[in-house]
Chains A and B, each alone.
Chain A
Amino acid sequence: MSTDMQLALPARAENIAIVRHAFGAIGETYALDAQTLSDIRLAVTEACTNVVVHAYPDGREGPMEVIASLLGDELTVIVRDEGHGVGPRPDSPGLGLGLPLIASLAESVQLGRDAEDRTEVRMTFLLSNGHHRPGDALDEPTWAELPDRPTRLSDPPTSL
């Protein structure tokens, strides 16, 4: 899969806006309809927020990497970190809606680790209006095995 955009930033809240703007540029360039672009940006925002909030506990700073690849009518977005990863967390400050929201917006979602043991959320979006149905119940997301941190949509919301 060829990479069209790879953006790496410190995992800080203010940098999520930069990621959103980058996807705005992608949307303008490829004339994506407003709803599709909105869905993509929202899903990517949620994935990046997970990195900012969960990946690097104890105040340490680490990278957040976002990769976008376009192939035909399919956009694949990978949000990657080198930290704790996504998993049940009893002290989570959020409502736990991020991953379910991503799953409802994207055609497919995979959680896992890459060859360098970095945590990644891989989302795919169909860009053709004929295929993408914003708000529709989409196929059940596929979940990669996370050996030590099983994460499922059915987990209680407070776990994410």
Chain B
Amino acid sequence: MSDDHWEQDEPRPETTASLRLARGPLVAPVLCRVVSMVLARANCPMDRLDDALLLCDALSAHAPEQAGDGSVAFALSTHERCLELRVAELPREAGARLVRDSVVPGVGNVLQRVADELRIEPAVDGEHEELVLELRF
């Protein structure tokens, strides 16, 4: 099927992206833009796109301070109406700290409230861990 003929409710092909950003002012704007574009291509509805940006804002605010070196790594993929967003290369225990830090007074834990699934997985290298968030739409 050509790119011009996707039905509105038909999911687009899977997209995968890896993104590494230096700690600093670029983390939030670039992460939000990239996630927005990936979800737009996946025909994500607006309300869930908005939710995804809440996740991005929370991660942008707290992931850099948990990252092991001077940068924070993300991996994104969409499949079957689901966004999987990974905060990669975190030092051990940093995933749990990142979740704990994402509490907004009066709102609660943004990551836990917005994501459909949240888990911490060991990285392939055995030294790091990854915080995995899934957002279904």
Contacts and interface: CB of A to CB of B under 8 A. Distances in A.
Interface of A: 2-10, 13-15, 17-18, 21-22, 24-26, 28-29
B34 to A, nearest CB: 6
Interface of B: 3, 15-22, 24-26, 29-30, 32-34, 36-38, 41, 70-71
From A2, A6, A22, name the one whose CB has the most chain B CB atoms within 10 angstroms: A22
Contacts of B25: 29
Contact of A7 (B19, B29, B36): B19
B32 A25 contact: yes
Contact of A8 (B17, B24, B29, B30): B17
B33 A22 contact: yes
Nearest to A17: B37
A29 to B, nearest CB: 5
Contacts of A25: 26, 29-30, 32-33
Nearest to B16: A10
Contacts of B24: 4
Given A9-B16, A14-B41, A26-B30, A21 B22 contact: no
Contacts of B32: 25
Given A4-B24, A10-B16, A13-B3, 18 more contacts: A3-B20, A4-B21, A4-B26, A5-B19, A5-B20, A5-B21, A5-B26, A6-B19, A7-B19, A9-B15, A15-B17, A17-B37, A18-B17, A21-B33, A21-B37, A26-B29, A26-B30, A28-B29
Contacts, number: 63
Contact of B26 (A9, A15, A17, A26): A26
Contact of B29 (A6, A10, A29): A29
A13 B20 CA distance: 21
A3 B32 CA distance: 19
A22 B3 CA distance: 22
A17 B30 CA distance: 13
B22 A15 contact: no
16 contacts: A2-B22, A3-B20, A4-B22, A6-B18, A6-B19, A6-B20, A7-B20, A9-B15, A9-B16, A10-B16, A14-B41, A15-B15, A18-B17, A18-B37, A18-B38, A28-B29
